[in-house]
Each structure stands twice: as structure tokens, then as C-alpha cells.
Structure 1
Amino acid sequence: MGGYVARVRHDELPGSGAEFDRLVNSVAQRWRAVDPLLPAPTRPRSSTYPLLTVSDENGEPVAAGTMRYTWHQPGEVGRTWGMPDQHWLTPVVGGPEPRRALDSLLSSWREQLQQLPTGTGSESAALLTWPARDVSAVSALQWHGLQPYSVLAARERRRGVPPSLPPRDVTIRLADSQDLTQIVSLLMEEHRYEEHFGGVFVQPETAEQTRGVAARSLARSPSWIWLAERRGRPVGLIWVSPPDRARWAAPLVRSAPAAHIGYGVVAEEERGRGIGTALVSHAHQALDTHNVQITLLNYAMLNPLSGPFWNRMGYRPVWTTWEVRPALALR
């Protein structure tokens, strides 16, 4: 590790933790310089999950990472999204040499994964999220075998394409409970397409689980799900979670209030005709009217349609999730 020392903690940080406050401050300075949308980093804690720490030659912390493990049994909703066994690291990397610090942190993480008795087999993954514009340590992520997997992108209020009308024979309206079957059909088409990129694994229960989630949203008024229809036939939708339904997303960015777009779907045979742009324009007008300052969404890095489309709509990457499968493929 070139003079850096790593250790794992299962207790609270010692003393006042002033040295870790200095670590967080150094991270905050770098994040502010590279991306004003990034939130303030939080001080690492080890009371709930094991905490890896890396110190320099003077004993000053230069990196910390909380290790978290999640798993999904057959039949659970999470089984559709990613690998069943997921090992997450939440890194806080500062100091004058962030690439070197992250390199040591990832090496220590690999050692900890090797010691686990279970959960690191063929259906496992090691994942972490890194600021998209913080290029200071990307080479360390690559060297350890991690690959960019998905993007959290953001659009600030009134950014993106001008208001757009749908094609002449297409109408857009708020969906309600009567549209449940058609909405589930469109969502399942999207799930099957996303399977190509390794982020979705359609299970026997996925359709019914999707139906349950959609039914709960459609029961609310307004649903915040807009449906595009061509002569009465559903051809696309956009599903928005306004700020009161997207509280989980608020800590991911500095701006507020924040909304989240969960799905933007256009039927395969209808793509390229302006329906997606019109749906997004419709949703943006509603979000801007409700004074939503920032809207977030996720897309697969390998999806050849999502990145270019959402960029045209005014979205740009804020966070990138990096992954390696199986977990012990981490170098």
C-alpha cells in the first residue's frame, strides 16, 4: 500500500474524530470544485456496518468506506434488480492523493470479501457509487476490475428541450386505475429490454410485483403517471415520483426539492416518432409548475438509447455506480 495503513472498525470512531472531520472537509472541497450538484459528504460511522479506514504515513485518515451486504431470496422484489448477493462499499476518499487512497481502500475491501464464508459466489457483485465528474481516482476503480454499470442523472429546473407536442394522432393524459393492465404491459416490455444490459433479471413473480407497485401509484391522486395513446392504444408512459414520494433521492444532490423519474417507456415499434420527447416535456411542465428544482433518474450505462435520449432532455450524470461480478473478481 506504499506507506498507507488500512484497518477495519466495528466500533465507533475514537475520540472526537477530528481527523475524520478533516477527511470529510477535504472530500467536500474536491466535490464542490468538480460538481456543484453533489451533496456534502457525511462523516463515516461504524456503529451499524463495518468501516474500512486508510491512513497515511502520519496516521491521518485519507479514506474510509462503509461495507454493507444485501441479499434477496427467490420471490423477493429485489431479485429483479441486479445480482442476489450485493456487497456495497460507501467510500469517502480525500487527501492530496485520492487515487492512491482509493487504491488502498479497494485492496482492503478485497481482503475483507475474501474472508467471508458465504455470499461471494457466482450470483454476487461488489458495487460502489462514485461522483461522475470526479475523475481523480477513476483509474483506481478500473485497475481493481470495476466497470461503470449505471448512472444517476439530474436535470435542473427549466433545463432541457422546449415544450414539445405529441404527434398529431397521439394524446397524453394522466393515467388512473383503469389503465393498470396496459401500464404493466409497457413496464414488462421495458424490463425485458433492460435484461440485455445485466441490470434486470425478470423473475416469475416480476409481472405480479410490478402490478402491485403500479396499482398503489395509480390509486393516488394525481398518479403522476402519464400515458401516451395513439388512437386509444397505449404506446408509452412516463412515471414520476414527486418530492413527497422521492424522499430517498433528496440526499443524493445538493438542490431541493428533488423528484425522480422511475420509468420512461415507449413501445419498440413507436420509437423515434417524438412520443418520448412529448412525454418528458409533459412531465417537465408539471414539475416546473410545482417548483421542483431538480429531477433525477437512473439508466444503464450500456443502454444505447437511454444516455443519448436523456442528455437531449437536459439530464447529465451526477453519480456512477461501478460493479464487478462476482464479488471476488474484485482485484
Structure 2
Amino acid sequence: MGGYVARVRNDEMPGSGAEFDLLVDSAATRWREADPLLPVPTRPRKSTYPLLTVSDEAGRPVATGTMRYSWHQPGEVGRTWGMADQHWLTPVVGGPDPGRALDSLLSSWRDQLRQLPTGTGSESAAQLTWPARDVVGVPALQAHGLQPYSVLAARERRRGVPPSLPPRDVTIRLADMQDLAPIVSLLMEEHRYEEFFGGVFIQPETPEQTRRVAARALGRSPSWVWLAERRGRAVGLVWVSPPDRARWAAPLVRAAPAAHIGYGVVAEDERGRGIGTALVNEAHQALDSHNVQVTVLNYAMMNPLSGPFWNRMGYRPVWTTWEVRPSLALR
């Protein structure tokens, strides 16, 4: 590691505070310069999860990473959304050479994964999120075998294409409980498409789980789910979680309040006709009128439709999730 020293901490806090505050300040400065939408990184807190630390030749911390593991049992929703065994690293990297510090942190993480007795089989993944515009970390991530997998993109208020009308024979309205069956059908079509990119694994329980989640959203007033219909047939939808239903998204961006778009779906035989643009415009008008400052969403990096579409709608990458499967393939 070229003079950098890594260690694992379990039940102790990292240092007396001042040196780790300098580390966080260093990372915060780099993030702010790279992307004003990024939040301020937080100092590692005492938790039940092991903490990796990397120090320079003088013993000053230049990187930390909290290791977290989750396993989804058969029948759980998590089995649909990603690998069954997920190993996550939450890094904070600073110092004068952050690329080198990240390289050392990833080497230490690799060594820790190799010592684990379970959870590193064929259905496992090693994953972390990294600021999309903080390109200094990309060489180290690639060198360790990680690949960009998904993007969290954001749109600031009033960004995007000008309002447009839907095709003449298409109507758009807020959905309600009467629309549950066609909405589940559209969502399952989307799930089947997303399977191609390795982010969705349809299970026997997935249709019923999808139905329950959709029913919960449609039972609220307003639902914040817009439905497009052509002559009475459901052909697309956009599903929004306003700020009070998307509190988990607030720490991901500096602007507030933040909303989240969970789904934007157009039936395969209706794509390319302006339906998706019209749906998103309806959602954006509602978000802007409620003074929502930033809206975020996720899409698979390999999806050839999502990235270009959401970019046209005013969204741009803020965070990138990198991963390697199985987790022991981390180099």
C-alpha cells in the first residue's frame, strides 16, 4: 500500500476526533468542488458494523469505510431487488492523494471479505456508492474489479424539457385503487425488462409483493401516481414519492426538500410516442408547484433507454453504485 496502513476497528471510535474531522473536511471540500448537489460527508459514528481505517505515513487517517452486510431470505422483497448476499462499504476518503487512499481502503476491504466464513458465495455482491463527478476514485475502483452498475440521478426544480401535451388520443390522470390491476401489469412488465440488466430477479412472490406496495400507494390521497391511457387502456405511468414519503432520499443530496421517482414505465408497444415525456411533465409540474427543490431517481447503467430519457428530462448523475459479483471477485 505504499506506506499507507489499514486496520479494522469494531467497538471503538476512530481517534479522539480532530484528525477524523480533518479527514471529513478534506472529503467535503473535494465533494463540494466536484458537485454542489452532494451532501456533506458525515464523520464515522460508533455502530455495530466494523470500520476500516487507512492512515498515512504519519499516522493521520486518510480514509474510512464502514462495512455492512445484509442477507435476504427466500420470500423477502430484497430477493427481487439485487443479490441475496450484499456486502456494502460506505467510504469517506480524503487527504492529499485520495485515489491512493481509496486503493488502500479497497485492498483492506478485499482482505476482510476473504476472511468471512459465509455470505461470499455465487449469489453475493460487493457494493459501494461513489460520487459520480468525483472522478479521482475511478481508477482505483476499476483496478479492484468493480464496475459501475446503477446511477442515482437528480433534477433540480424547474429543470427539464418544456411542458408538452400527450398524444391526441392519450389521457393522463392521477391513479386510484380502481387502477390497481393495470398498474401491477405495467410494473411487472418493467420488472421483466430490468431483469436483463441484473438488478431485478423476479421471484414467485414478486407479483403479490408488487400488488401490495402499489395498493398502499394508491390508497393514499393523492396517490402521486400518474397513469396514461389510450382509449381506456393503461399504457404508462410515473410513480412519485413526495418528500414526506421519501425521507430516506434527503441525506443523498444537499438541496431540500427532496422527492423520489420510483417508476417511469411506458408499455413496450407505446414507446417513442411522447407518452413518457408527457407523464414526467405532469409529475414535474406537481413537484414544482409544491416547491420541491430536487427530485432523485435510480436507473441501471446498462439500460439503453433510461439514461438518455432521464437526461432529456433534466436529470444528471449524482451518485454511482459500483459492484462486483461475486464478492470474492473483488481484487
Settle same-fold status: TM greater than 0.5.
Answer: yes
Q: Percent identity?
A: 86
Mark the CA change 1:257 to 1:123 in structure 2 (over 3 Å): closer, same or farther: same
SS in structure 2 opposite 1:117? coil
**1:166-245 correspondence runs (5 A):** 166-245=166-245
The aligned counterpart of 1:296 is: 296
SS in structure 2 opposite 1:88? strand
Return the alpha-carbon distance in structure 1 between the equivalents of residues 218 and 109 of structure 2: 43
Cα deviation for residue 15 of structure 1 reads 5.0
Cα deviation for residue 46 of structure 1 reads 3.8
How many residue pairs get aligned? The number is 331
Q: Give ranges in structure 2 of 5+ residues lacking alignment.
A: none
- My pick for the range that moved more, 278-287 or 8-17, is 8-17
SS in structure 2 opposite 1:12? coil
Mark the CA change 1:275 to 1:197 in structure 2 (over 3 Å): closer, same or farther: same
Cα deviation digits, residues 140-167 of structure 1 (max 9, x gap): 0000000000000000000000001100
Return the alpha-carbon distance in structure 1 between the equivalents of residues 110 and 30 of structure 2: 26
Q: Which amino acid aligns with 1:171?
A: T
Return the alpha-carbon distance in structure 1 between the equivalents of residues 174 and 212 of structure 2: 19
Return the alpha-carbon distance in structure 2 between the equivalents of residues 66 and 36 of structure 1: 24
Cα deviation for residue 129 of structure 1 reads 0.1
Q: Which amino acid aligns with 2:69?
A: Y
SS in structure 1 opposite 2:120? coil
Cα deviation digits, residues 45-84 of structure 1 (max 9, x gap): 2422100000000000000000000010110001001100
Contact kept, 8 Å, 1:155 with 1:296, in 2: the verdict is: yes
The aligned counterpart of 1:80 is: 80
Cα deviation digits, residues 258-297 of structure 1 (max 9, x gap): 0000000000000000000000000000000000000000
Cα deviation digits, residues 161-190 of structure 1 (max 9, x gap): 000110000000000000000000000000
Deviation >3 Å, runs of 4+: none
Contact kept, 8 Å, 1:4 with 1:55, in 2: the verdict is: yes
Cα deviation digits, residues 208-251 of structure 1 (max 9, x gap): 00000000000000000000000110000000000000000000
Contact kept, 8 Å, 2:14 with 2:20, in 1: the verdict is: no
SS in structure 2 opposite 1:328? helix
The aligned counterpart of 2:262 is: 262
The aligned counterpart of 1:320 is: 320
Cα deviation digits, residues 90-132 of structure 1 (max 9, x gap): 0000001011000000000000000100000000000000000
The aligned counterpart of 2:311 is: 311
2:156 matches 1:156: yes
Q: Which amino acid aligns with 1:303?
A: N
Return the alpha-carbon distance in structure 2 between the equivalents of residues 81 and 201 of structure 1: 7
The aligned counterpart of 2:330 is: 330
Return the alpha-carbon distance in structure 1 between the equivalents of residues 121 and 93 of structure 2: 28
Q: Which amino acid aligns with 1:189?
A: E
SS in structure 2 opposite 1:319? strand
Cα deviation for residue 44 of structure 1 reads 1.1
Contact kept, 8 Å, 1:46 with 1:66, in 2: the verdict is: no
Q: Which amino acid aligns with 2:8?
A: V
Q: Which amino acid aligns with 2:28?
A: A
Mark the CA change 1:137 to 1:15 in structure 2 (over 3 Å): closer, same or farther: closer
Cα deviation for residue 32 of structure 1 reads 0.5
Q: Which amino acid aligns with 2:311?
A: N
SS in structure 2 opposite 1:178? helix
The aligned counterpart of 2:36 is: 36
SS in structure 2 opposite 1:20? helix
Return the alpha-carbon distance in structure 2 between the equivalents of residues 242 and 205 of structure 1: 27
Contact kept, 8 Å, 1:229 with 1:235, in 2: the verdict is: yes
Return the alpha-carbon distance in structure 2 between the equivalents of residues 23 and 304 of structure 1: 38
Return the alpha-carbon distance in structure 2 between the equivalents of residues 181 and 291 of structure 1: 32
Give the TM-score normalised by the residue count of structure 1: 0.99
Return the alpha-carbon distance in structure 2 between the equivalents of residues 310 and 47 of structure 1: 37
Give the TM-score normalised by the residue count of structure 2: 0.99
Return the alpha-carbon distance in structure 2 between the equivalents of residues 71 and 213 of structure 1: 21
Return the alpha-carbon distance in structure 1 between the equivalents of residues 254 and 14 of structure 2: 29
Return the alpha-carbon distance in structure 2 between the equivalents of residues 187 and 320 of structure 1: 24
Return the alpha-carbon distance in structure 1 between the equivalents of residues 287 and 58 of structure 2: 50
Return the alpha-carbon distance in structure 2 between the equivalents of residues 313 and 20 of structure 1: 39
SS in structure 2 opposite 1:163? coil
Return the alpha-carbon distance in structure 2 between the equivalents of residues 264 and 285 of structure 1: 16
2:290 matches 1:284: no
